[in-house]
Amino acid sequence: MLRITRRDFLKYCSVAAGALGLSAGTLMKLENAIAKESSQGAVEVIWVDGAACTGCSVSFLNSVFYTTPQDVLINSIDLNFHKTVMAAAGAFYAGAPYIGANALSAAEDTYGAGGYVLVVEGAIQAGKPKNSTQGEFCEVGELTGSASSTTMLKVIRQLASRAAAVLAVGTCASFGGIPASRGNITGARGCTFMANYSGITKKGAFNDSALDNVGGVANATLANVPVINIPGCPPHPDWIVGTLAAILDTNIALSSITLDAYKRPVDYGYRAYQCNAGPCPWRYNNTGTRRYANNALIADPDYEQRYPEGDSRRLGREKYRFDAVGCQGILGCKGRKTKADCSRRRWNSDVAEEYGVNWCVGSRGNCLGCTEPTFPDKVGKFYTFA
């Protein structure tokens, strides 16, 4: 079977357009996707996941505010590997190597060329099972062309060594998240080292001295690769797409992207504590929300007043009565110490440049602090019932 090129595929789509009911506009978008090679400006991307629930990918696919995922995938990047949304699949057909639309070959070719953006989703399990080797808690398909199978730990270090930048999407990829929580035996961790943050030390897959030269890659090599963390469980789609757009806009020159101490992009989700970003109407008892892209408030809140009506402690006694108002901190809400703009941006927008309809605290649930490096072990109890 011969390998099908992008342009051959476009020809087949053109012939079949009538039968498939494709409009001229849809076919034009498809043509852009097929025709735009990396040499013409599309940034090559490899997206891999380890210990993950795929929630970060699902969140990305719900993007609307800045642009849609279709626009990103069709007009901005050359996504060469993503097991959830890629068109190509597989390496074998009827027991023999298949050289058609082979996703593994695409990943290998991209790795060989270098200079791509590596997106990591999920924690990297670096532990050593009994009578086994380092990292074998998570085995993945070979993406770099050196063996038939390998561990997530090895392949992520190899892919990162030739990447122009690494985007750690989600708290698991950024800091270890739930797979790295207390009691896990897999040695799960995020990409980079997080030392002594609020009494907790997390070791990263890229610069833990115990992992030096794993996968044939020295930690010193990985130290030169810029990493941006986009934590959240899952992160808001705008945080992912906004950061990715900034990377594309700078042609992967990341020096112009402002990061905080934990490598989170300040301008795309992580500038303010959640209570103040919106601001949170439960904390400040206001109806004002920033609804549109210009951040204009529908009504001005009174930042000096807190719990001015009702009794916040009533929330602890009566839990979820609709007329019980006030800050949910008494129930364990972590919004006051969590950097995220959920209360402003909110979720489930279906209109470009318009913020969403609700978020965890707005729906009377607590903020769990999922964007912080200490999540979930050191953020405190998720709920406190008085």
Q: Is the dihedral of CA 72, 77, 78, 82 positive or negative?
A: negative
Q: Is the dihedral of CA 278, 280, 283, 285 positive or negative?
A: positive
CA separation, residue 36 to residues 33, 82, 103 (Å): 6, 18, 17
**Amino acid (one-letter) located at 210:** A
Give the model's pLDDT for residue 121.
94
Of 128, 92, 84, 89, the residue nearest 107 (C-alpha)? 89
- Provide CB contacts within 8 A for 18, sequence distance 6+: none
Of 69, 274, 263, the residue nearest 169 (C-alpha)? 263
CATH 3.40.50.700 domain range(s) in the chain: 42-256
Q: Look up tokens 């997390």; give the residue.
A: 202
Q: Which helix (H) or strand (E) holds 362?
A: none
Give the model's pLDDT for residue 232.
95
Of 180, 194, 269, 191, the residue nearest 226 (C-alpha)? 191
Give the model's pLDDT for residue 275.
83
User: How far apart, in whole angstroms, are the C-alpha atoms of residue 299 and residue 288?
Assistant: 4
The long-range contacts involving 113-116, CB below 8 angstroms and separated by at least 24 positions, are 113/44, 114/162, 114/163, 114/164, 115/44, 115/162, 115/163, 115/164, 115/252, 116/43, 116/44, 116/45, 116/46, 116/80, 116/162, 116/163, 116/164
Give the angle subtended at the CA of 278 by the CAs of 177 and 67, to the nearest 5°: 70
Give the strand pairing for 92-93 and 117-121.
unpaired
Q: CATH number of 272-386: 4.10.480.10, 3.30.10.20, 3.20.20.60, 1.10.150.20?
A: 4.10.480.10
User: How far apart, in whole angstroms, are the C-alpha atoms of residue 320 and residue 364?
Assistant: 7
Return the beta strands (E) in the chain as ranges. 43-49, 77-81, 92-93, 96-97, 117-121, 124-125, 139-141, 149-151, 165-169, 188-189, 194-197, 200-202, 227-230
Give the strand pairing for 124-125 and 188-189.
antiparallel
DSSP 304-330: T-SS-SS-HHHHHHHTT-TT--S-GGG
User: How far apart, in whole angstroms, are the C-alpha atoms of residue 239 and residue 231?
Assistant: 9
- In order along its 386 residues, the chain shows pLDDT tens digits of 233 444 444 444 444 444 334 444 444 443 443 344 444 567 788 899 889 899 999 898 888 877 777 777 766 777 777 777 765 555 544 555 555 446 667 778 888 889 999 999 999 999 988 888 888 888 887 666 665 568 899 989 999 999 999 999 999 999 999 999 988 899 999 998 776 666 667 788 998 888 999 889 999 999 989 999 999 999 999 999 888 888 877 777 777 788 998 999 998 889 888 888 877 877 765 444 444 445 554 454 444 544 444 455 566 566 556 566 667 787 788 988 999 999 888 888 888 878 888 888 888 788 999 999 989 988 877 776 65
CATH 4.10.480.10 domain range(s) in the chain: 272-386
User: How far apart, in whole angstroms, are the C-alpha atoms of residue 219 and residue 175?
Assistant: 18
Give the model's pLDDT for residue 64.
81
Q: CATH number of 42-256: 3.40.50.300, 3.40.50.700, 3.30.1370.60, 3.40.50.10140?
A: 3.40.50.700
Give the model's pLDDT for residue 364.
77
- For residue 278 the two structure tokens come to 């919106």
Give the model's pLDDT for residue 125.
93
